[in-house]
Amino acid sequence: MGRRMVAVFAAIVVGLVGVVTVLVYASSADSRAVAGQRAETVYIAQSLVPSGTTASDAVAKGLIVPTKVAAVGVPAGALTKVDANNGKLLALTDIAAGDFVLSSRFGTTPTGDKAIQVPDGQVALSVSLSDPGRVGTFVTPGSHVVIYDTYVPDAAPAAGASAVKQTRVLINDALVIAVGSTPLTPTGGQGAAATSQGQTSTTGALVTVALPPNTAAKLVHGIQTGTLYAALRGTGTTADPGQIVTDSTLFTP
């Protein structure tokens, strides 16, 4: 009889332990579910954050913004605050729009190289030029070019007459900072004067120039409305921006 009582008591204890284990697990699962639904404030990139941008500048410019998201969706190491302790840290690499911003993306020394270096105060624009329109393969990063524009003037032609095109200087001096994928300040140790590989196609190539913003607007308009042609500048060369060449003036001295 004593052994039977011991066995019954042991069974009761085991059952109680099982019930407690289930209750503890259920309580823990509920806690995890609640934690997953809890919102946390983290930073998300709204626009591209260029390498070298400080965290405080990224916030001030609206490049990264604090956003409340469900805790279950927050990646480990997500940036939760920008203050005096981390505000001066630099973006180590570009941060793409839409990415969660991780604390590890900021540090003291940016890694990687910019694909292209735009001079201070200027903007970079790319224009597609034919091989003849970029002096064959002789326009290279570092070249200075004159850009001509052939277009139809605003005045409507007389009845029955065809539109007469005219050509004039659009940009007197433009610095070429890249041809195709070869930049003026290249990465990987390639020389800046090296001719871009794979750019000898008769279909031409993209030529990227650096210009002041106001002058760049003229180039954008010329790209949209005319046909562009570039010429290499010699030392001391000055093109006449007031000269207009048409069919009727082509042979005028």
Q: What is the mean pLDDT of residues 126-132?
A: 90
| pLDDT bracket for residue 19 (50, 70, 90) | low
Least confident of 15-29, 65-79, 121-135: 15-29
Q: Is residue 7 part of a domain?
A: no
With 70 as the cut, is the pLDDT of residue 115 above it?
A: no
Q: Are residues 70 and 101 in the same domain?
A: yes
Q: Is residue 142 part of a domain?
A: yes
Given a contact cutoff of 8 angstroms between Cβ atoms, the answer to whether 28 and 65 are in contact is no
With 80 as the cut, is the pLDDT of residue 34 above it?
A: no
Between these two residues, 247 and 21, which has the higher pLDDT value?
A: 247
Last residue of a domain, one of 107, 140, 167: 107
Res 212: pLDDT: 94
Q: Is residue 163 part of a domain?
A: yes
Q: What is the mean pLDDT of residues 28-37?
A: 53
Last residue of a domain, one of 79, 107, 135: 107
Q: What share of the chain is helix, strand, coil (3-state, %, to 5)?
A: 25, 30, 45
Q: Are residues 128 and 217 in the same domain?
A: yes
| pLDDT bracket for residue 44 (50, 70, 90) | very high
What is the residue range of 135's domain?
A: 123-246
With 60 as the cut, is the pLDDT of residue 13 above it?
A: no
Q: Is residue 46 part of a domain?
A: yes
Burial class, 30, CB count within 10 angstroms (exposed 0-12 / middle 13-18 / buried 19+)? exposed
Q: Is residue 82 part of a domain?
A: yes
Q: Is residue 136 part of a domain?
A: yes
Given a contact cutoff of 8 angstroms between Cβ atoms, the answer to whether 176 and 199 are in contact is no
Q: Is residue 53 part of a domain?
A: yes
Instruction: Specify the CATH number for the domain of residue 43.
Output: 3.90.1210
Q: Is residue 8 part of a domain?
A: no
Q: Are residues 143 and 190 in the same domain?
A: yes
pTM, entire model: 0.51
With 70 as the cut, is the pLDDT of residue 216 above it?
A: yes
Give the angle 107-109-114 at the CA atoms, nearest 5°. 115
Q: Are residues 157 and 216 in the same domain?
A: yes
Q: Are residues 142 and 84 in the same domain?
A: no
- Looking at the DSSP bridge assignments, the partners of residue 167 are 150, 245
Domain count, the chain: 2
Q: Are residues 182 and 225 in the same domain?
A: yes
pLDDT in tens, 162-203: 678 899 999 999 999 888 877 776 544 444 434 433 333 445
